[in-house]
Structure 1
């Protein structure tokens, strides 16, 4: 093909797609930087999705413009499959903090069918008879196979839009007032993406189709840039759906409450919870330590779970949530370690034995506790009018502004 069209024309064909593909990859790199700091799997899947998409756009343009059928096959069998697999992984992770096996089976099955089609049949490049400019690959021997292939691609990318708008709608519907504005923007971006992806089904004038596809690419760039900027500015949006965190409560080993931080209404009285924690501290904790259950133990309740730090005898540190989560367990473990370092001299005597804190109100002050809690639970959204911090003897006060 290079012998039939000049280099300037070739660059004109490839240039826009390369520019858009590079823009998508650069935006994806922002999420990679966020992943390196937060180590959040959903950010990794977001990065891999759009890295694959950017590479797909570039390689598709190059393979078509230069009549590289091998590259065409690799692009559609590998990168198209990666896009849908990683996107399903992102949606599942952000909504459930786990990857659904059924969705993965559907994604891989679709990718296998797509790969079989591009590798088993003899594809030919369609060239404009006047300009000699390459347009797209077809399978002339069987128009049905040709149609199935391109409709599968359309369906693949439509799934991206449907998955996005579903996640955005649920996030907007569930978000507390403090996050409504940004989740509303997320929902609008979902609608724009779905409309943008719908243009690929337009069967009209080829020139208009090319313009619409270019517009579609621009829309995709705008949507993913907007999405990653929203998540970057407010990471709690990405943690609205997997679970609800009700409260963090810290008591002495004998039961008296030292400090409570609430994010949502749990319907559980602190005194009752403190009494239960006292039992954990005196009986259950020792048993669980003996059988080496690990740093964090999960205790199921009627509605939700209690995650309790098991390593420290002077205090009971418990997080009450709607369900267990590896992210919450890691945060609680890290919080417990730093909490013990900050308050070690208040919790142990000079000989290293645990002691009772006589004045918890002046020891575990809001000024000391809130930065510590924010550091380890900054992704937890608040569903109360204010993230209530409760100290024995002091009325509940608003937490940090959301």
Structure 2
């Protein structure tokens, strides 16, 4: 169904953008640099919802992914290289519906056609990654947590813009308990593809074998896709379930029921803290976040020891570095003149074993080590008594004297 001339003219004055979808052409607004679109209509259309905005004559709207539309008219030239879309190999007997069904079957994890489709979704340097958060998790990231665990490319989930739509991406096991009408998210740019893994294959098979009592969030299918009855979304994990150094200009976001994106905070790498960006009209979105004042302008993350660090060399000396994408890597320095581009860069982290289980060392206190399992499975969880704190994230305290193979390692990035 096409929009009426009056509605089209009104929307055209605002966006100049038209999108062909489902046999109609609609005024639209671009989302995530063309990864998705918000379509508007003056009349009721199947699949659109009633969501009027002040002063608008187009009260019906729908969010669609870029791969669902047939044409885009009036879009500005892309400012940067777009992400690779999920591609389905041509197959006489398998269409989208069949591939979606395969993505939801753990026994289909080895299917070569499904594997080829999953392999088409890749992370590159500078890819915008997103982790959907609860209010409790948002508070943790404001206070110093680092990106870790299950996450998604922004490109693949840009059309999921409301709390209800993002429910399937939650990893905390609290869906339906918090009762809030807002979803939160952390968004950052990937420093390097080596930091990410796809939860398929032998290395992650144990996740799918964990019983519901021992996990949080939805089950891990082992196909590399999110469990969903209607979405086909590739999922990623940070490699070894490790924390990643927080890149410069990462953002904490809110998605209220209106479907708009609200930037709450942006990360200031040199100051090691979050600068509040949200205006007074949206600060009520922070009311549900425990221990956080909506009026606090700047929130430092503190000087607690970090589980990981980005290090670089410049002029033969080693410095703490920061990923500042898309510009690259530089020395972490307060003064602009000292923010030199590094000659080499690597992610530093600490590995160990406890009771024969490979772990990450997160921190050390009074002779005890906080460990996170690198490859969770029923046996590893049982022998360590590790507790699940997030989907795929299992942690436990261990006596330092019992830990073996304790070593600092570096993951180099190619420059």
- Taking structure 2 as the reference length, what is the TM-score of the superposition? 0.22
Q: Look at both structures and tell me which one has the larger radius of gyration over its CA atoms.
A: 1
Larger fraction in strand = 2
Task: Give the number of the structure whose residues are more often helix, by fraction.
Answer: 1
TM-score by length of 1: 0.22
